[in-house]
């Protein structure tokens, strides 16, 4: 129950933190659909890449609870999902087999490959082709819809990864980038409003 509450708190905080950055002028509001999707993708790509690099290898097998995926499995899940989704948008379905990787180096390499695939997909996105249908294996979806799914999925996964990092005493990259810390109050509980 505590783990679910913590995950929910981190997810809500991340949404609030993004809204606050826009309100304070800390981020330039994109003016087109393709620019908005690219900006969101770039943000989560940076957070996930930094999290994967900063988590020590001995913590790649760490699970918040026995029923959850390990940190390394979360990173591998991002890599496998991204390659599948973005290669579909790019016109040739590929796999990277990250779930079968066991070392941090191999998992991080698979993650990089997945981001390379997604960089190509997001790089080709324009407002003019955003609504073009691309095959997904379950019927067709729009190019923008498929890439919006990638970003939403990445953010969900990063939310879990951020909790794992906090449980290991590591400030998640998105919080560190904003100058945030662990957010501990005097009672030792999580502070408010720091997000991930």
- What integer pLDDT is reported at residue 138 of this predicted model? 64
Ramachandran angles phi, psi of 158, nearest 5° = -60, -35
Q: Is the pLDDT of residue 80 over 90?
A: yes
41 lies in some domain: yes
- What integer pLDDT is reported at residue 9 of this predicted model? 33
26 lies in some domain: no
* Domain residue limits at 83: 32-168
Pairwise CA distance, residues 146 & 140, whole Å: 9
The number of distinct structural domains making up the chain is: 1
107 lies in some domain: yes
- What integer pLDDT is reported at residue 10 of this predicted model? 33
146 lies in some domain: yes
11-46 confidence digits (pLDDT tens): 334 443 444 344 444 566 778 999 999 999 999 999
Q: Which of the two residues, 106 and 182, has the higher pLDDT score?
A: 106
113 lies in some domain: yes
Q: Residue 136 corresponds to which tokens in the numbers above? A: 């997904």
97 lies in some domain: yes
131 lies in some domain: yes
- What integer pLDDT is reported at residue 107 of this predicted model? 98
190 lies in some domain: no
Q: What is the CATH number of the domain that holds 107?
A: 1.20.120.450
């Amino acid at each position: 129950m505590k783990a679910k509450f913590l995950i929910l708190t981190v997810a809500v905080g991340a949404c609030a933190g993004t809204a606050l950055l826009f309100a304070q002028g800390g981020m330039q509001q994109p003016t087109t659909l393709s620019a908005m999707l690219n900006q969101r993708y770039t943000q989560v790509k940076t957070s996930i890449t930094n999290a994967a690099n900063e988590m020590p290898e001995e913590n790649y097998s760490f699970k918040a609870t026995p029923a959850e995926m390990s940190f390394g499995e979360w990173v591998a899940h991002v890599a496998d999902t991204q390659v599948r989704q973005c290669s579909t948008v790019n016109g040739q379905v590929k796999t990277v087999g990250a779930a079968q990787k066991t070392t941090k180096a191999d998992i991080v390499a698979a993650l990089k490959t997945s981001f390379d695939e997604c960089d190509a997909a997001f790089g080709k996105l324009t407002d003019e082709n955003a609504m073009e249908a691309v095959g997904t294996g379950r019927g067709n979806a729009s190019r923008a819809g498929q890439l919006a799914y990638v970003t939403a999925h990445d953010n969900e996964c990063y939310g879990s990864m951020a909790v794992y990092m906090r449980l290991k005493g590591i400030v998640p990259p998105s919080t560190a980038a904003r100058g945030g810390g662990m957010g501990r109050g005097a009672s030792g509980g999580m502070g408010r409003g720091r997000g991930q």
